[in-house]
Every structure is written in structure tokens, then in C-alpha cells.
A and B are shown apart, each in its own frame.
Chain A
Amino acid sequence: MKIKKLFHQYFSEIYTINLFLFGILLCIYLHSFLKISLIEIFLFFLLTLTILLFPFYQIIFLKKELVSLKNLIRKYENPDDSKNKIALIGKMSVAVVHDLKNPMSTIQTLVEMANTNEITKEERIRNLNLIHREISRLSDMAYEILDFVRGDLILKPETLILEEFIAEVYHFLEIDFEYAKVDFILDLKYTGKVFFDAEKVRRVIVNLAKNALEAMYDKKRKYTFTVHSEKIKQKLHLSFEDNGPGLPESVQERIFQTFATEGKVNGTGIGLYMAKWTMDTHKGEIQYKTERGKGTTFTLIFSLGEQV
């Protein structure tokens, strides 16, 4: 029904405009019989040309409108897509509920500990930092799901200093690296200004780091996680290299899809899907290279354009 209405509307518009232009043309044509001048002949040809070409422009525009309308209908009315999305959200909820319990009970325990005299001042400060971190984890999860369900990623980009940004991300992950006994190494060849949504990019990096840490558990090996940064042709290449076991082929096949790692017990299951989406929305790129037994490197590529 919407398509029919749109057709009707556009053809009515074409008809009205054409009739109006034909009127003007007729006036000039009649006037030219009385007093023909070069300007009038020029105007006559120009208007005739406009009248002849105008419907073609209208049809091209109408075609574009129809394509976008068709996509819109497909997005909201295709039962398979909505079913898939609902199924994914359901699957995600199970993972999320499990993940929500952990930070919540950690916060409860830490708050309970704050009421006792059994902890030192240093431990109290550390516990407050942990509470702050756990609340950030809760909010990260909530926003990740919200963006996914809404199907819309709204960026709030800002100018940042890369070195400071990476230091903040490390502060957030410090306890995880310490616990996993993985060395966090910095190799920043570019440390200057960058322009992106700090919160969303932090979420991408946290996801990459957590995936790497989860895979690096062999106690006989010495593991590292290295952050490289480099400016190549007005672009920032920000890489995260681990020397873990590398990605299995089954994961590589569908790495940036939802639930690429079946059986994963932590996270929402959409971490790398969101990473790709975040980079696409930034008009950037995410690339990876991996080798079994050697490790994996993910590279985020941002434009260092006018804003920087």
C-alpha cells in the first residue's frame, strides 16, 4: 500500500510541475512570435530541455526512494530476521544473566567488607576501585545489549591523547592481567591525538584483551599481550598482539558474527560482532592475523583526519 501511495504522490508531482513549466514555455513561445530575440530563443531551448529531462530525474529519485523503502520493509517486516534477532537476544540473555551475577555479588561482598575492621586502608582503596570497575562492567554489558537490540550505534567521538587513553584501558584491565600472569607490553610509536568514541573503543579493546586472556592459561608458557601503535598514511594502526594458541579455524570462519565462539561461558557472545560494527561506524577497519601455536593480532585502523 505504501509503495502505491508513493507512486501516486510522485506522479502527481511530476504532472503538476510539468504542466506549470509547459505554461511558462507557451507564454515565451507566443511572445517570440511578436518579438524574437536571442535571449528568448535560448530560454525556449533551455526550458524545453528542462521539461524533457525533468521526468527522468524524478524517476531516478523515485527509484532510490523505492529501494530504501524496500530495505526498510525488509528490516521490520521480514519474519525470519525478527525471529533470528529474538532468538539471538534470548541466547544473549542467558549469557548476560550469568555475567551480571558475578559483578553484582563481587560488589556486595566488597560492600560487606567495607563495614568490617578486618581490612587495611590500602585494601579499602583497592576495593573501592574494584567496585568502580565492576559497575563499569555492568554498564558496558547493558550498553552492548542496548546497541545490539536497537540496531543503531550512536557515536560520541572526541579528541583524545592515545597514550593517556591506553593507560586508562590498562588501569581497567590491570587486575585481569595480574591474575592471569600475562605481561602487558606497550610499543607505542604513535602517542598523539586521536578522534573516536572513547567508551565504545574501550569496550572493543576490553573484549579483545579478555578473549586473549581466556586463551592464555598454559602455566608452562610465558604469555605477553603487546599494544602497538603506528601512523601509516594518515591512519592510526592500533594493534593488540598475543602469543597465545591462535584462533581455531572454526572460529575464524565466522569471527565477526554473533556467538562465533560456541560454548563460551563469559561475555554476551557479541563482543567481536560489536567490535566490527564499532569500527565500521567509525569508518575504520578491524583486521586480524592468527597462527596456531604462535598467537593472534587484531588491528584497529582509524583515520587521523581533519579532526585530529
Chain B
Amino acid sequence: MKKILIVEDQAPVAKILTDILKKGGFEVHNAINGQVGIDMALEVKPDFILTDIMMPVKTGYELIQELRANPDFSTTPIYAISAKGGTKDAEAAVGMGASGFLPKPFSPGTVVEMIKKILDVK
């Protein structure tokens, strides 16, 4: 089972994404801020990381930069979650090493399909 790490400080968003991805057949791990996200990534070694950008303690940008500097995560897909109208933030995240971004609001089917396609899971 592929492992997904969701790094999100907003409980409702994290809860919805977790439910969607669990139903899609993934093993899901949650981190409440960028710092916890980095620690969990090192511990869990996820196959895919979804991260919010604006978070306390450490932001999504810092998480992307720190993980990309680690050879273990040089190819791990890291996607930034961006709210509507926040495409500039998401583009900045891509500039810092994110593989792409997931725009909010998202439909459950689209998220699962997108991740399955990236991870080549049927």
C-alpha cells in the first residue's frame, strides 16, 4: 500500500483529504505543521507528499526546500495545496522544488485519480 503524507494545519482540510485518500486505497499519515511534516517524512518515508503552504512553525516552502536538499527525497512527488486565487504561492512552491500543486476546492475523485496516475497505481 502506497504511503501518503498530508502536511496541513487546518483540521477540516486534513480530515477530508485523509478520508478521501484512505477510501482510495492509500495509507495516510498526517502532520500538523511544516516541522512535523519534515520529521514524519524522515520517519515514514512516504511515496507522495501533499503540503499546505502557510503553516505555523515551518511553512510548506521550508519543508520543500529541506526535503529536496535530502537525497532520499530528491524524486519524491511533493505537491503543494493551494487555495483558490493562491496560484502564485503554488508557483513559488514549484520554483522551490515542488512537483506540482493541488488547487482547492478539490473533488474527491480528482485527487485520488491524480495521485494514482502520478504513482502509477491502478
A interface, CB within 8 angstroms of B: 98, 101-102, 104-106, 108-110, 112-113, 116, 118-119, 123, 127, 130, 133-134, 175-176, 178-180, 214, 217, 219, 264-266
B83 CB, min distance to chain A CBs, angstroms:
4
- B107 interface contact, C-beta 8 A: yes
Are A130 and B12 closer than 8 Å at their CB atoms? Answer: yes
- Determine whether the beta carbon of A118 is less than 8 Å from that of B32: no
Stretch at the interface among B55-63, B72-80, B113-121: B55-63
Closest 8 CB pairs of A and B: A108-B105, A179-B11, A101-B83, A105-B104, A109-B105, A265-B54, A175-B11, A105-B83
Chain B residues near A127 (CB-CB < 8 A):
16
Of all chain A residues, which has the CB nearest B18? Answer: A179
Q: How many A-B residue contacts, CB cutoff 8 Å?
A: 85
Measured CB to CB, the closest approach of chain B to A212, in angstroms, equals 12
A102 touches B10 (CB 8 A): yes
Contact B55 A108 (CB under 8 A): no
B14 within 8 A of A: yes
Interface size counted on chain B using CB atoms at 8 A: 32
- In the complex formed, the residue of A with least CB distance to B24 is A118
Distance between Cα atoms of A217 and B107 in the complex (Å): 29
**Does B66 lie at the interface of the complex (its beta carbon under 8 Å from any beta carbon of A)?**
no
CB within 8 Å of A: which B84-114 residues = 84-86, 104-109
| Apart from A109-B13, A175-B12: 12 A-B pairs, beta carbons within 8 A | A101-B85, A106-B105, A108-B105, A109-B16, A113-B107, A116-B108, A179-B15, A180-B11, A217-B32, A219-B39, A265-B9, A266-B56
B30 interface contact, C-beta 8 A: yes
Query: Could you tell me if A178 and B19 are in contact, using CB atoms closer than 8 angstroms?
Result: no
Q: Which residues of chain A are near B104, meaning CB under 8 Å?
A: 101, 105-106, 108-109
Q: What's the nearest-Cβ distance from chain B to residue A228, in Å?
A: 25
- Given A118-B108, A217-B33, the answer on whether A134 and B12 have CB atoms closer than 8 Å is yes
Residues from chain A with Cβ under 8 Å of B55 in the complex: 265
Chain A residue nearest to B104 (CB atoms) is A105
Known contacts A101-B86, A219-B39, A265-B54; is-contact A116 B13 (Cβ 8 Å): no
Q: Show 28 residue pairs from A and B whose CB-CB distance is below 8 angstroms, ordered by the A residue.
A: A98-B54, A101-B84, A102-B10, A102-B13, A105-B13, A105-B84, A106-B105, A108-B84, A109-B13, A109-B106, A109-B107, A110-B16, A112-B107, A116-B109, A118-B109, A127-B16, A175-B12, A179-B11, A179-B14, A214-B9, A214-B57, A217-B32, A217-B35, A217-B36, A219-B36, A265-B9, A265-B56, A265-B59
Those of B1-56 within 8 Å (CB) of chain A: 9-16, 19, 23, 30, 32-33, 35-36, 39-40, 54-56
